[in-house]
């Protein structure tokens, strides 16, 4: 062991020999110091992650996840909207005793569904 040289053992073909670079810190050269090795590995991982995120299959999968969550959010909001329209029907038609005057054949609204649908249109849906 040459104590002026890096203590890392490196492969040369089938044999290992001491690294020939001069010592830098803690007995290692700049390239073989554990801190340098860890830093290089971290940068490699970062580059790999970056490339993975840019890959079409990865972005496609992200878009599918987003699509699924938007679909379920949409379903949830549609249900809430229908519930609100039903409530509006109770408040504006049933509770005001307008049902017999405005709902029915030949009247302003054919049936409850017709009223609810026009309410949804009023709200912009």
Q: Using CB under 5 A as the criterion, which residues of the chain lie in contact with Zn ion when the complex forms?
A: 6, 8, 19, 21, 29, 32
In the complex with Zn ion, the residue whose CB is nearer, 19 or 103, is 19
DSSP per residue, the chain: --TTB---EEEETTEEEE--SBP-BTTB-TTTSHHHHHHHHHHHHHHHHHHHHHSHHHHHHHHHHHHHHHHHHHHHHHHHHHHHHHHHHIIIIITTT-HHHHBSTTSSBSSHHHHHHHHHHHTT-
Minimum distance between the CB of residue 41 and Zn ion, rounded to whole angstroms?
A: 16
Residue whose CB is less far from Zn ion, 32 or 119: 32
With respect to Zn ion, which residue has the nearer C-beta, 36 or 117?
36
Nearer to Zn ion, 29 or 85 (CB): 29
What is the C-alpha separation between 2 and 87, in angstroms, rounded?
Answer: 87
Q: How far is the CB of 7 from Zn ion (least distance, A)?
A: 8
- The distance of closest approach from Cβ of residue 32 to Zn ion in the complex, given in angstroms and rounded to an integer, is 3
CB of 11 to Zn ion, least distance (A): 12
């Amino acid at each position: 062991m040459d104590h002026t040289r890096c203590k890392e053992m490196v492969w040369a073909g089938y044999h290992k020999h001491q690294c020939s670079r001069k010592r830098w810190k803690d007995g290692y050269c700049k390239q073989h110091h554990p801190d340098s090795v860890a830093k290089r590995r971290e940068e490699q991982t970062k580059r790999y992650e970056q490339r993975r995120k840019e890959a079409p299959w990865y972005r496609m999968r992200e878009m599918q996840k987003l699509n699924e969550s938007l679909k379920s959010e949409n379903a949830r909001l549609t249900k809430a909207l229908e519930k609100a329209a039903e409530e509006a029907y109770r408040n504006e038609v049933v509770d005001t005793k307008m049902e017999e005057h405005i709902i029915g054949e030949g009247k302003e609204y054919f049936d409850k569904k017709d009223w609810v649908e026009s309410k949804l249109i009023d709200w912009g849906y």
